[in-house]
Amino acid sequence: MPNTISFPGLGIGEFVLNPVAFTIFGHDIMWYGIIITVAMIVGFFIALRNAKIENIKKDDVYDLAIFLIIFSMVGARLYYVLMKLENYNSFWDVINVRKGGLAIYGGVIAGALTVFVVSKIKKINPLKMLDMVAPGLIIGQAIGRWGNFTNAEAHGVETKLPWRMGIMYAGSANTRYYHPTFLYESLWNILGFVLLMIFYRKKKFNGQITVMYMIWYGTGRFFIEGLRTDSLYIFKSMLGETVRVSQVVALLSAVIGVALFIVGMLYAKERALDGASYDRVYSAEKEDALGVDDAPAFDIVEADKDEESAEEPETEESGESDTEKETN
């Protein structure tokens, strides 16, 4: 059913937004599915571009993409179902994704495991493959959040801020104003994508782009998730407050990412120092082989020549004086 959306503080009046894009043979094709498909395609082409930098074959990227699409979707669905297991009474309910129910972190975790398995089979450094995928993943997430917008879901708590999003759901006569958390995350992810691509060619160690993704996305998601009204929960804390699953995962992701980044940079620095030491040793050995140590002897030879040339004028002077004596 169509919903009425508005952003009055931004000068955008009410407009009707239908989650259904079109209907084929009686089946509704949702904007959400179309947008997710576009996100996957964009992410795939970004990965292809990065594969050239990592010297990974196109065929390997194609194979990885097939498995990623399958297992990421399965992971995203299982993650969501496990957090709301009481709502599912049959196997059909579990696999029926047309009613919604995908969790991005489930897809990310399943996708990471898929990359490790495929890289092992292909005998490719898994950290290189993860780096190849990470920028495409975060820009895909930025695009995918607009699928939530078309469904008028994944919004935040009510607010009066200038950029508030008004939603009048189908069948309702009242408009309520919320934090547009889909927009917050989309913009955050776009900025993250730009930063990852800037640092891609400057990375110091394999896996750096991946841990930067973990830090960036985890940090942003932790704060944005705190505003949402549709979070998944795991248990009650000692303070009686409900703990949001995505906040826990986001915080762990960011903290682990920072730790791995520090370790990676220290390792890269150590390798650079070892490389510099090797270069010095190699240069010394090369100089020995070329006889560069004989340079002092060369200097002595030059000094002897200078002394001889200095003595020659004296000989000429003495010769001239003898001649003069003979002339006289």
- CA 188-106-220 angle, to 5 degrees, is 20
Q: What pLDDT is recorded for position 92?
A: 78
Assess whether pLDDT exceeds 80 at residue 284.
no
What's the chain's average pLDDT? 85
Residue pair 31/147 in contact by the 8 Å Cβ criterion: yes
Per-residue model confidence (pLDDT) at position 116: 97
| Distance of alpha carbon 149 from alpha carbon 182, whole angstroms | 7
Query: Model confidence over 151-175: pLDDT tens digits?
Result: 999 999 999 999 999 999 998 999 9
- pLDDT for the residue numbered 302: 42
What pLDDT digit, counting tens, does each position of 241-254 carry? 678 999 999 999 99
Sign of dihedral through CA atoms 306, 310, 313, 315? Answer: negative
Q: Say how far apart CA 150 and CA 2 lie, in whole Å.
A: 9
123-130 long-range Cβ contacts below 8 angstroms, 24+ apart: 124/56, 124/60, 125/206, 127/206, 127/207, 127/210, 128/54, 128/56, 128/206, 129/54, 129/56, 129/64, 130/207, 130/209, 130/210
pLDDT higher than 70, residue 60: yes
Q: For residue 296, what are the CA distances in angstroms to 288, 304, 305, 311?
A: 13, 12, 14, 23
Would you kindly state where each structural domain of the chain is located, as residue ranges?
Answer: 3-280, 298-327
Both tokens of 112, joined, read 């990471």
Contact 205, 248 (CB under 8 A): no
N- to C-terminal Cα separation, the chain: 132
> What are the pLDDT digits (tens) for 254-271?
999 999 999 999 999 988
Q: How confident is the model at residue 324 (pLDDT cuts 50, 70, 90)?
A: very low
Residue owning tokens 């960036």: 216
Band of pLDDT at residue 327, cut at 50, 70 and 90: very low
pLDDT the model gives residue 319: 47
> pLDDT class for 83, splitting at 50, 70, 90?
confident
Is the pLDDT at 85 greater than 60? The verdict is: yes
pLDDT the model gives residue 230 = 87
Residue 305: pLDDT band (50, 70, 90) is very low
- Banded pLDDT at 1 (limits 50, 70, 90): confident
Q: Which residue has the higher pLDDT, 274 or 2?
A: 2
Total-model pTM: 0.80
By mean pLDDT, which of 86-90, 123-127, 206-210 is the weakest? 86-90
Separation between Cα atoms, residue 76 and residue 32, nearest integer Å: 15
Angle at 100 between CA 96 and CA 106, to 5 degrees: 90
Flag whether pLDDT at 295 surpasses 80. no
d(CA 242, CA 250): 16
